[in-house]
Amino acid sequence: MTGHVYRVGVVGCGTMGAGIAEVSLRAGLDVRVLVSAPDRTEAAERRIAAGFERAVAKGRMTPQEHEAAAGRLRITADIADLADRQLVVEAVAEKLDVKCRVFKALDAQLADPAAVLASTTSSLLVNDLAGTTSRPQSVVGLHFFNPVPSMPLVEVVLTDRTSAGSAAAAEAFVADALGKEVIRTRDRCGFVVNALLVPYLMAAVRMYEQGVAGAEDIDRGMTLGCGYPMGPLALLDMVGIDTFTAVAQGMRENGPDLITEVPPLLTRMVREGRLGRKTGHGFYQYDQAS
């Protein structure tokens, strides 16, 4: 692909999908968000609107900019509406079979053979997704971080089949259009950030599980002793215990040299609905889900 990306598609409107749509709209791009069913469109609209409202409240966006951005958004349940997109970001569940189905469907729909297909996966191999398409040279990973509007980094993941043009278009979208920092990484389990972060977080979970120290003391140890802005267990609550567990399990399957075992406590917390801030209870209790 040559030139700038103006027409962006986002598949999925959960936390990551909504965040990517929000920053793309704020960058002045034309955005279409694909949801799984027509009855999901209103919830998607509310989620993205809530992000705009927070930005306005914090003085990061004017009401007029909010209105203009909303006018560039279309939410649809019909994948054919993504046919003219120059770049599509997949942001669905962290499950290989689910993502592969999305990539196959997008491959069949996108009219431009050079349109970039990107995945937000944080634990799966991008090459496995590329292999389900007829255009593996156009497939990249774009690993955004949560919350997308405030986190400055995106990992751009390139497979051995990604073309120079697709790599350049993806990096220009992230850096020039969205104004975020880029680190380029090859396609390996966990890429750069999660290959370092996930083992650290799981060590904190094991420490808590074994009764070595309480949650507050573990977190204070890392914030006060190492200068980290947030302790590991508080970070897990913010990310979501279910989200992190899915990432850890994916890394266990794809990179057993990095992850040997997922702590049983995590799967138990998911089963009990203790997912962190979004349910009001994780390693800490919260006044309300957020």
Catalytic residue among 127, 138, 166, 194: 194
Whether the Cβ atoms of residue 236 and residue 244 lie closer than 8 Å to each other: yes
Instruction: Tokens 């927070």: give the residue.
Output: 54
Catalytic residue among 94, 143, 163, 166: 143
Catalytic residue among 122, 123, 138, 166: 122
What number of CA atoms fall less than 13 Å from residue 22's CA on the CB side? 30
CA distance 97 to 120: 15
Helix (H, G, I), strand (E, B) or coil at 242: helix
| Strand 153-158 to 139-144 pairing | antiparallel
- Hey, what amino acid is at 288? Q
Q: Is 7 exposed, middle or buried (0-12, 13-18, 19+ CB in 10 A)?
A: middle
194 is catalytic: yes
Whether the Cβ atoms of residue 29 and residue 6 lie closer than 8 Å to each other: yes
122 is catalytic: yes
b/e per residue 137-152 (b: at least 16 CB within 10 A): bbbbbbbbbeebbeee
Whether residue 256 is preceded by a cis peptide bond, meaning omega within 30 degrees of 0, is no
CA distance 136 to 134: 6
Which tokens is 150 given? 């405030």
Catalytic residue among 119, 127, 155, 166: 155
Instruction: List the catalytic residues.
Output: 122, 143, 155, 194
